[in-house]
């Protein structure tokens, strides 16, 4: 089975849950755990566990899962993926988007109600913005009539569109 090696942040774990036991539980839910790292965020209350996992690319991403605490209570753990590559917001599988999803196409064709259970909320916020390759260069610069006319853009200068607030 093919896998993708990614760092996954586990949010929502109480202090008593940050243990090798939790890492073993994650292994059963996500894939093979390669490495585990615990971090304390800015305040002393907020703990974060990171696991480097070999995720099977043929299975949907996990959004999170319940885990039993030492006192017997169940806690929801949220998974966020670092440097997550392209994935489908309909089926949650790596390697394709909505435009190329057979499940999305079939539901849309049959007039069914599409529920998007996956989205960019699975990505770790921050870091470098992803810029599509076509924004780095002008494809005409590689044709005879466009030779020398294309301009290479500095990726740091490419900006995302400014969001527009809806007035009430």
What pLDDT sits at residue 71?
A: 81
Q: Is residue 80 part of a domain?
A: yes
Residue 120: its pLDDT value, please? Answer: 94
Q: Which residues constitute the domain of residue 33?
A: 3-122
pLDDT tens, residue by residue, 11-57:
877 766 666 667 667 666 787 777 777 665 555 555 678 888 898 89
**134 domain residue, yes or no:** no
- Measured in whole angstroms, how far is the alpha carbon of residue 9 from the centre of its chain? 10
Tally of structural domains, the chain: 1
Domain assignment of residue 161, yes or no: no
Is residue 49 in some structural domain? yes
In a domain, residue 149? The reply is no
CB atoms within 10 A of CB 20: 9
Distance CA 10, CA 67 (A): 12
90-106: pLDDT as tens digits? 999 999 998 999 999 99
Tally of residues, the chain? 168
């Amino acid at each position: 089975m093919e896998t993708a090696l990614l760092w996954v942040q586990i949010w929502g774990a109480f202090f008593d849950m940050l243990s090798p036991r939790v890492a073993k539980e994650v292994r059963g839910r996500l894939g093979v755990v390669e490495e585990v790292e615990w971090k304390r965020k800015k305040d002393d209350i907020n703990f974060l566990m990171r696991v480097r996992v070999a995720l099977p690319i043929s299975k949907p991403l996990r959004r999170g899962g319940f885990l039993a605490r030492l006192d017997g209570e169940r806690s929801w753990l949220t998974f966020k993926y670092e440097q997550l590559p392209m994935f489908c917001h309909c089926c949650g599988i790596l390697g394709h988007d909505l435009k190329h999803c057979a499940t999305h196409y079939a539901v849309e064709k049959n007039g069914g109600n599409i529920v998007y259970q996956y989205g960019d909320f699975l990505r770790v916020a921050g870091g470098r913005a992803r810029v599509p390759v076509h924004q780095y260069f002008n494809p005409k610069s590689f044709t005879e009539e466009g030779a020398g006319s294309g301009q290479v853009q500095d990726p740091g200068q490419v900006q995302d569109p400014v969001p527009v607030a809806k007035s009430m």
